Structure formats: C-alpha cells, structure tokens
Amino acid sequence: MSGSGTNPLLEGLPLLGDLPDLEGASVLVRVDFNVPLRPCDDAPAVVTDDFRIRAALPTLEYLSSHGAQVTACTHLGRPDGSPDTRWELGPVREELARLAPQIELMENLRFDAGETANDPDFVKKLVNTHDAYVNDAFGVSHRRHASVVGPPTYLPSAAGLLLQKEIEALGRLLGRPDRPFVAVVGGAKVADKLGVLKALLHHVDALVVGGGMAFTFLAAQGHDIGGSMVDRDRIDECAQLLDSGTPILLPTDIVALEPGAPFGCDGGGGEVRTVGADIPGAWQGLDIGPETVGAYADLIAGAGSVLWNGPMGVFEDERFSAGTAGVAAAMAACAGYTVVGGGDSAAAVDALGLEHEISFISTGGGASLELLEFGDLPGLAALRGAPNAPGHRKS
C-alpha cells in the first residue's frame, strides 16, 4: 500500500494499509490537538477552533472501522514537564467525544518531561499494551520527541491519512510544481526563516517577502526603516539572498504607526500613515501598503503554484490587517495550486472564510517550513525505520 510516485518523501514510508490486521488491535495514534482554548465565564475552558481535531478524524475513523481500539495522544500548550491545570485536556476530550466518541484520549504528553527529552523509558510507557502506532501529527513531526520518534522503534507503524496528505501536498511543491512557482513568506523574525528562504530560492521562480522580516531586507537595500523591526546581524545574509539571481519582491509602500503608539490586540491609538519604502523618523512599519498588495496579488494571480507562510503585518490589529487579507484573497482567486503553510496564515484564511478556496491548508507551520528546508522530518524518518516499513520487510 505504500507508494512513492514522484514524491521521494513517500519512498519507504509505511501507510495505513501496511499495518497488520487491525481487528481487535490496540493502536496508539499521535495526533496534534494543540488547539486554542478560551475560558467560558466561570466554567471550564472550551475549544474555540477544532480544525486540528476534525483534520484527524479520517484516520481515527479508518482505524475504528477496521476493528481497532484507538487511543489518541497529544500535547497542549507548553507545560514544563509536569501537570498544569491550564493545559489539561478536558476541553479537548469533550470536543473529541462529540466528534468521535469511540476514541480514547490520554492526558497531555508534556506533563511528563520524558516527552520532550525523548526519554526511552517514557517511550516504553507509551507503547505498553499497544499493538501498533500511527503518526497523524504533521505539526510536531519536526520534533524529536518521545511520542513522535520513539514508538516506531517498537511497534508496527504507519503515517496517518492527514500526515500522508501533508507530505503529498508539500512534496508536490518540492518535486515538479506547476510553473511559475511563487513563495510568499512573512512573519516577524527573519532569523527564523532564513534557512527556508535559502532552500526555496532553489525551487521557486519568485519569492515574495512581507511582515516584520521584510524590514531587514529593505535595510539591506539601503532603505531607512525608521523604528521598524530589524535584525541587524542578518542584513548581510539578506543582501546575499537579494543577489542570488532569483527575483525577490519587497514592499514598495508601508503602513506605519507613529512613534510610541500601541498596536496589536490592545492597540488603537496613534496616527497611521502609508509611506514609501523609506520610513520617516521613528515611525514603525506594521503592514504592507496597498501598492504592494496589488503587486503581490498580480504575481500570485499568474502563478501555477503558490506557497504562503506568514502574515504580511500585525493582522490581529485591524489597522494592519489589509496586507494579510489581500494576500489571502489573491490566494483564493488564484487558479493554480495553492498551499497555505499553517500557523498564522491558516488562521487568517479561516477568519476570512476562504479556507475552501485554497488547494491545501497545512496543519503545521513550523513543520512545513522545516520540510521545505531540509527535505525530510524526524517523524518521517522514524516511520521508515519501523519493523513493517517497506524497506525493512524480510523477503
């Protein structure tokens, strides 16, 4: 049942059909139910977005329909290796019970320090009493955590349907994408994405840069970026990328906020002004301007494949959300193959009601970037080493 086609990521990767007979088997499924929670008055917290839970349902239903007893496991939040009431899975368990009542859910994996430390003893504790393992958590498959890389050492294992979809979609971009291939990359810190930008330059026909990271590129071009975010230690690297020969589009106009004024979820005060690529005084650039939105949208419209990861501005503040909304609308209108690389970009598409207009929305922002940068993930490599993986079968 495994297959590679033209996607090298699938080579040697065991899929659900490669598992032994599931009738009566106990199957551990690593899911990514790291979902947003909101307190409900004095009542327990509730799940505010169940996208990641719904995304795992096809795998959970497949296993159940084939007779398996399924136990799901996930992390939630960032507890420090010990139980924390803020990150208990009660609200997630309630939502899962509504959608798939036959599925059990363990308590937060990160309540045990052995999870992030990849402790062999914690791995043994996880696999105890289980007959097989399925990884359907693309969003954490770039982590060398116990629940991600440990179980395939002991159990017949497989990639779940969601994980398979993720690597098929992203592998299409790494393999033979429809041309021209355009990558739109935003977000705050250029240091976080320099590696993937360098990797993308070998694949794309054009690279579009927005968000806070754009100001380090503008500084590399000699522009005055005012009081905007800049990583001065990375200016030379950005200059090298600009000289790579691959077209890199940068903002030509900026939506800026007067010095010292608050912005973000609690913002609202201060003068907002659209300026050119040079920002006056200590004004802070917080979004791409309308001219830039138009140029980016035109490039996206003519693309055969588009990858978008990262907002164009501080989109949680309505004054600086037009750039992100404009790119999202252009992605939705594009006739080519469009992929949104999880994280804030996926949240923006969902908030704008455009999720059904995108070819594929990834559930993992960081994982999608690492896959594009390195060409593989620890979670995938672990599955290829499972006892039932195609490359490990005995003749």
The residues annotated with a catalytic role in the active site are 52, 189, 343, 366
Alpha-carbon span 349 to 202, nearest angstrom: 27
One-letter amino acid at 41 equals D
Chain-centroid distance, C-alpha 350: 14
Q: Which two tokens stand for residue 152?
A: 């395939």
Which pairing describes strands 284-288 and 253-257: parallel, antiparallel, or unpaired?
Answer: antiparallel
DSSP for 36-63?
A: -EEEETTEEEEES--HHHHHHHHHHHHH
Alpha-carbon span 312 to 385, nearest angstrom: 39
One-letter amino acid at 162 equals L
Query: Is-cis flag, bond preceding 247, omega within 30?
Result: no
Alpha-carbon span 214 to 282, nearest angstrom: 17
* Residues whose CB falls within 8 Å of the CB of residue 392, separated by 6 or more in sequence, listed in order: 385, 386
3-class DSSP assignment, residue 71: strand
Q: Which helix (H) or strand (E) holds 27?
A: strand 26-30
End-to-end Cα, the chain, rounded Å = 17
Count of helices and strands (H, E) across the chain = 14, 16
3-class DSSP assignment, residue 226: coil
Alpha-carbon span 207 to 105, nearest angstrom: 41
